A and B are shown apart, each in its own frame.
Chain A
C-alpha cells in the first residue's frame, strides 16, 4: 500500500502521509491507506456492497478529515469495510463537492484480520497541500 508512516509526530497514535498527482487520487489513496492500516488482509475485502459517499465543505483539509472519518463511521454504524474506488472533487465559488464510489462488505472477524482499531482521524498536523510534484496529505489517527 502506497503510504508513509511518520514516526516523529506522535508515539501513542499513528501519523501517515500519502502523495498523488491530483487531489482526487490523493483522497482515494488516503482512504485506501486508512483501510490498509486497519485491515491486515484488506486485499481480501470482497466488493459485494456498494456505497456512495457524498459531502460538501469549504476547506479541502476539513473535507479530507471528514472523508476519512466517514469510513470509520460506516465501519461502526453499518459494520461495513469499504475500499474507495474513485473520488471526484469539484468546486465552484469556494464550495467543494466530493463524491466517492466505494465497494466492500460487512466486517467478519473470521475472514478479516485486523491490525488495529482506528478510533478517529484527528486534526493534529492535518495537512493537505499542493507540492511542486503534485499533492500531499498528512493525517494523525487516534488508535
Chain B
C-alpha cells in the first residue's frame, strides 16, 4: 500500500511504502538519479533532522548510483552523506566518494565473549575498568602501543589484524571472525601520503575519543530474544560477560580521507566533468586513476583499523588475565565478530534480478550478510552474519543477524542508536561528572579522559536503541538476537 504520511514535508514528499519504509521520489529534487529510501518507524523518521533528508537526496545524485539512496533506522545528519547512509554504485560507470565513507575509515565494533559471569566480574569491575583505562591508550594526544618503522607500517597497511598475530600478539583464532578476515584485499600503500603515515604512526593501538569506547557488558537471560541464533553466536545469557570495542583507523584514516577529498575536489570538474551539490560529496570515477588510488589508500586504512581493534583486544586479554590470574584461554576470551561501519567495498549483489559487482558505500552502516552468503566464516554460514549495534553507554547494545530479506538494502543494517541531540545540546543538558555518578549508582562504572566528552555521549542524546532495533527487524534488515547491558566502560 502506498499513501502519503501526515508528516510535514520533511515531509509532504515522503511516501510510506511499508510500515517501516519511506520513499522520497526522484522528482523531489533536480539531479536525483534514483529515489531515496529511509528504513524507519514513523516515530524514528520524525526524530530525524531535516538535514538527513537533504543529505540523502544529495546522495541520490551520485553518478552510477543503483536503485536507491538508502538511510538506516539510526540515520542522522553528518557532513555530505548522512550517518546511516548507503549507496550502491556501478563500479564501471559510477564514482567513489570519501564523503560516503567518512573520515574515520572502518570505524567499527568488535564483540568478544568470555566465560566469566556477572557474579565473578561485578566485584572486580572497578579494578578492571581502571586497569583497562591505564593499559588501553585513549583520549586526545595519547600514543599507541607500537612504534612502527616505515616498512612495518607498510606491512600493517596490507596485512591488517593478521600483522598483529604475525608479530607476536595474541589472537590467531580471532581472525576468522573479523569482517574480511581482518585483512582487506586491494590495499596499496603506494597511494598513501607521507602526511597520513606521519599522522598515523603514533596512534596504532589507541581507542581514540568521542563515541569510541571499550565496554564490559552482561547478557541476561531475559535479554536473549532468539535462543538458537544466540547460541550459535556464543551468547548464552545466564549473566555471562562480554566485551565490546568501538574504534577505527584514527588519524591515519582521517588523513587519507582529508587528502583524497581535496584531491577529488581539484579534479572532479576539471578532469571528470562531475559536479555535486555538496563539496563533501567530491568524487571521482571508480575506474580512474584517482578513484583507484583512493580505493587503495582507503583499504589501507580499513586494515589499520582492523589492526587497531586487534591490538586493543590483545591488551584486553592481558588486563583480564592479570586481574583474574587466569590465562586468556582459561577466561574464554574470544571474538564473536568484528564489523565495519565506514567503508566502500566491492561486493556481488542481485540488482534487478541479475547478480553483479557493486561498490557499496556504507557510512555509519553495517554489512549484514544472510545465511549462505560467501564471505561468512564457516561457523556462521548457516545462521547469517552477527550484526553489532552499539548503543549509548547507558542503554546497552544489540546483537542481530543478517537475513535473506536484507537483499533490498544490499545486506546492510543499522550501526548504532543515532543522535537526537547535537553534541552541543547534550553538553548543555548533561554534566559529565554527575552523569558518571548516576551511572555508577545504576551499576555502570565508567572512566573517561574527558567529562565534557562524557556529557556529549549521555544516553538521552541518542534515540532509544530498543526502537532502533525493533524498526531494524520490522524493516527486514536483520533479526534481533540479544541485548547486552553495560556494567563498565572506558571512554576516550
Contact = CB atoms under 8 A, between A and B. Distances in A.
Contacts of B330: none
Interface in A99-143: 107-109, 112-117, 119-126, 140, 142-143
A39 B139 CA distance: 11
Contacts of A112: 140-141
A79 to B, nearest CB: 6
Q: Which of B80, B279, B452 has the most CB of A within 10 A?
A: B279
A126 B262 CA distance: 13
Chain A interface size, under 10 / 10 to 19 / 20 to 34 / 35 or more: 35 or more
Contacts of B456: 116, 143
Contacts of A43: none
Interface string B191-223: 000010011111100001110000000000000
Contacts of A72: 251, 254
Contacts of A5: 424
Contact of B421 (A10, A11, A126, A142): A11
A1 interface: no
Interface in B232-276: 250-251, 254-255, 257-258, 261-262, 265
A66 B422 CA distance: 25
Contacts of A11: 49, 51, 76-77, 419-422
A126 B279 CA distance: 8
Interface in A59-87: 62, 65-66, 69, 72-73, 75-77, 79, 81
Contact of A122 (B79, B140, B250, B251): B79
A117 B79 contact: no
Nearest to A121: B258
A124 B419 contact: no
Contacts of B77: 9-12
B453 interface: yes
Contact of A114 (B51, B141, B201, B251): B141
Q: Which of A39, A73, A117, A124 has the most CB of B within 10 A?
A: A117
A53 interface: no
B287 to A, nearest CB: 24
Q: Which of A7, A115, A121 has the most CB of B within 10 A?
A: A115
Given A79-B141, A109-B139, A119-B254, A7 B102 contact: no
B447 interface: no
B103 interface: yes
Interface residues of B, number: 52
A95 interface: no
Interface string B67-100: 0000000001111100100000000000000000
A124 B210 CA distance: 20
Contacts of A142: 78-79, 102-104, 254
A117 B202 contact: no
Contact of B79 (A81, A107, A114, A124): A124
A10 B141 contact: no
B80 A7 contact: no
A122 B49 CA distance: 19
Contacts of A108: 141
Contact of A73 (B208, B255, B450): B255
B424 A14 contact: yes
Contacts, number: 146
Given A75-B141, A114-B141, A117-B139, A123 B450 contact: no
B305 interface: no
A2 interface: no
A47 interface: no
B466 interface: no
Given A73-B195, A107-B141, A116 B203 contact: no
A60 to B, nearest CB: 14
A113 B127 CA distance: 24
A30 B420 CA distance: 27
A117 B213 CA distance: 13
B453 A114 contact: yes
B370 to A, nearest CB: 29
Contacts of A13: 78-79, 423
B184 to A, nearest CB: 20
A94 to B, nearest CB: 15
A140 B257 CA distance: 15
Contacts of B419: 11-12
A38 interface: yes
A40 B102 CA distance: 26
Interface in B124-147: 139-143
Contacts of B199: 73, 76-77
Contact of B78 (A12, A39, A79): A12
Contacts of A116: 140, 209-210, 423, 450, 452-453, 456
A66 B195 CA distance: 13
CB-CB nearest 5 A-B residue pairs: A107-B141, A117-B209, A124-B79, A76-B251, A123-B279
Interface of B: 49, 51, 76-80, 83, 102-104, 139-143, 195, 198-203, 208-210, 250-251, 254-255, 257-258, 261-262, 265, 278-280, 282, 419-425, 449-450, 452-453, 456, 492
30 contacts: A7-B425, A9-B77, A10-B78, A11-B49, A11-B77, A12-B83, A12-B419, A13-B78, A13-B79, A14-B422, A40-B450, A62-B265, A72-B251, A76-B255, A77-B202, A109-B141, A114-B450, A115-B453, A116-B453, A119-B254, A120-B103, A122-B261, A122-B280, A123-B278, A124-B79, A124-B278, A125-B79, A142-B103, A142-B254, A143-B456
